[in-house]
Amino acid sequence: MTQPTLPTGFEDLSLCLDWNLPTADQRQRKRQASSAAELRIFYDRMLPRLPDALAEVDRFPLGALPESHHALYNLALSLAEVAPHIELYSGSPSVPYAFEEARFVAVHGGQETWRGLRPMAA
């Protein structure tokens, strides 16, 4: 497997590449296994870069994202996974006062999100 890269201008996010996870299931597991401090560090590094990251990946149609942009796209999706836990749940890696998350199985959770497949597609 090759080392993931980021598009030019996003090298500062290389410290976040451990959040470069292609599936919803992987992003959820990473969030659940992280500490509140780890979530905060990722959030604080990624949030200011989000507008530029979204503008960069939005240059390509969903499903046709070049490999050079997969990591950046995955980081944006990981931020979407982490943000509610920072903004709403005081940094808790889990959802407070809720059913155990493992009880909910995402039908599309194992798909590489950048492919743009419908949830029930194979």
How confident is the model at residue 99, as a pLDDT?
Answer: 61
71 is a domain residue = yes
Quick one: CA dihedral 34, 94, 74, 53, positive or negative? Answer: negative
Residue 37 lies in a domain: yes
**Does 118 score more than 70 pLDDT?**
no
Say how far apart CA 117 and CA 67 lie, in whole Å.
16
The verdict on residue 74 lying in a domain is yes
- Asked whether residue 114 is domain-assigned, the answer is no
Domain count across the chain: 1
112 beta partners: 23
Overall pTM surpassing 0.85 (yes/no): no
Q: Supply the pLDDT for residue 98.
A: 61
Residue 99 in tokens: 């059913």
Assigned domain for 122 exists: no
The shares of helix, strand and coil residues in the chain, as percent rounded to the nearest 5, are: 55, 0, 45
Q: pLDDT, tens digit, for every residue of 18-75?
A: 999 999 999 999 999 999 999 999 999 999 999 999 999 999 987 899 999 999 999 9
Q: What is the extent of the structural domain holding 40?
A: 12-107
3-state SS class at 95: coil
Which amino acid appears at position 70 of this protein? H
